[in-house]
Amino acid sequence: MRLIDAEYDLMAQNAEPHAIEKSKKELGRMETILGADQTIAALCEDIVGHYEENRQHELTGKAMIVACSRAIAMSIYRGILRLRPEWTEKVGVVMTEDNQDPDDWNEVIGNKRRRDNMAKKFKDSEDPLKIAIVVDMWLTGFDVPCLATMYVYKPMAGHNLMQAIACVNRVFSQKTGDTIIRKEGGLVVDYVGIAAALKQAMRDYTGRDKRNYGDREQILLYWNIGKTISKNIEYGNSFIFNLARDIKLEFPDSKGYSERNLRYMRKFAEIVTDAKILQTLSAKLKQMTRKAEAWRNETRKKPRAIGYDI
């Protein structure tokens, strides 16, 4: 609750006191439920079983577990090691240290140097570190294209949720011998019910948000949709028609996903086959957008000439 209090102190300036207290109590109850011993034990069994049966051999086997608090992150770590004691090099916890942490946390969390070393190990597809347990760190601004699976045990919404999903959805390919392994998309395993929040976040993804958070995710989304259509085009034109209809039904406020635009996305994915080109396109598009906005703003300042017939 000490960390919750600190977080809510930052919010107090822009919210009503009764609303803050109500939200704080709800969050405290949620952590009590999600952090119960039986709940954590069942969660760890499910994650370990699912990972071993379905995900450890998916691409490089990299997975991330998102915990809703630092204490729960540690409980998950210990729960997994109780089930698999030999996974000491395979699983790790990534979060900042605190002076008031229990002593037995220090050897697990470590300092900044240890976190930096773990970041290098997790980005290395050949390193034995395969599962990272996080709370807030690495969810934004940490690019691990080989990450294939994300287990979500934390309520998230809005841009934080969108960025977390984008984290596991990076494009990745790796050549092993004569075989090229390509990542078509990541898997998100939801334990707390983020589906509704994800739908709302997609509805709220406005033009202003694109400028603030970049066009890269939007371009990547279009590209992935185009790739999906290309892989399923064997089903005929009905696939595109049904996809456009389903998107409209699921996200009635969304725009840009008409049958015609979906065909453009397919062409885009077939023309642009290298993921690296997407980054170049995104950077150039952002520069052009800024220049266009600057020109428009400058033009608005200049007085317009008005002609009169005499």
Reading phi first (left if > 0) and then psi (alpha if -120 to 50, else beta), residue 180 is in beta
Is residue 189's pLDDT more than 70?
yes
- pLDDT tens for residues 118-151? 999 999 988 999 999 999 888 877 888 888 899 9
What pLDDT does 4 receive?
43
Residue position matching structure tokens 């608005």: 300
- Please compute the mean of the pLDDT values over residues 173-185 and round it to a whole number: 69
* Helix, strand, coil percent values for the chain (each to nearest 5): 60, 10, 30
What pLDDT does 252 receive?
72
CA distances from 245 to 17, 241, 251, 255, 288 (A): 44, 6, 10, 12, 33
CA distances from 270 to 130, 174, 224, 232 (A): 32, 20, 11, 13
What pLDDT does 204 receive?
58
The DSSP-derived string for 242-255 is HHHHHHHHH-TT--
- Please compute the mean of the pLDDT values over residues 251-270 and round it to a whole number: 80
The DSSP-derived string for 39-81 is HHHHHHHHHHHHIIIIITTSTT--EEEEESSHHHHHHHHHHHH
- Please compute the mean of the pLDDT values over residues 225-233 and round it to a whole number: 74
Distance between CA atoms of residues 36 and 75, nearest Å? 10
Is residue 3's pLDDT more than 50?
no
- Please compute the mean of the pLDDT values over residues 191-214 and round it to a whole number: 58
Structure tokens at 98: 């605190």
What pLDDT does 1 receive?
40
The DSSP-derived string for 8-46 is HHHHGGGS-HHHHHHHHHHHHHHHHHHT-HHHHHHHHHH
137 three-class SS: coil
Read off the pLDDT band of 7 (50, 70, 90): very low
Q: Which domains does the chain have, with CATH numbers?
A: 33-201 (3.40.50.300), 215-294 (no CATH)
Q: Work out the percent of the chain whose per-residue pLDDT is above 90.
A: 23
Lowest mean pLDDT among 62-76, 195-209, 284-298: 195-209
Is residue 227's pLDDT more than 80?
no
CA distances from 93 to 96, 280, 305 (A): 10, 34, 65
Is residue 304's pLDDT more than 80?
no
Lowest mean pLDDT among 197-201, 208-212, 238-242, 286-290: 208-212
What pLDDT does 306 receive?
46
Task: Kindly report whether the global pTM for this prediction surpasses the value 0.85.
Answer: no
What pLDDT does 12 receive?
47
Distance between CA atoms of residues 55 and 53, nearest Å? 6
Is residue 241's pLDDT more than 70?
yes
What pLDDT does 99 receive?
83
Cα pseudo-dihedral 235, 241, 242, 244, rounded to 10: 130
Lowest mean pLDDT among 28-37, 128-137, 177-186, 222-231: 177-186
Residue type for 284, please?
A: K
- pLDDT tens for residues 38-84? 889 999 999 999 999 988 888 889 999 999 889 999 999 999 999 99
Which element (helix H / strand E) includes 203? helix 195-203
What pLDDT does 233 receive?
66
- Please compute the mean of the pLDDT values over residues 210-218 and round it to a whole number: 56
Is residue 294's pLDDT more than 70?
no
Cα pseudo-dihedral 36, 39, 45, 50, rounded to 10: -130
Is residue 116's pLDDT more than 70?
yes
Which has more pLDDT, 22 or 283?
283
Which element (helix H / strand E) includes 91? strand 91-94
Which has more pLDDT, 149 or 200?
149
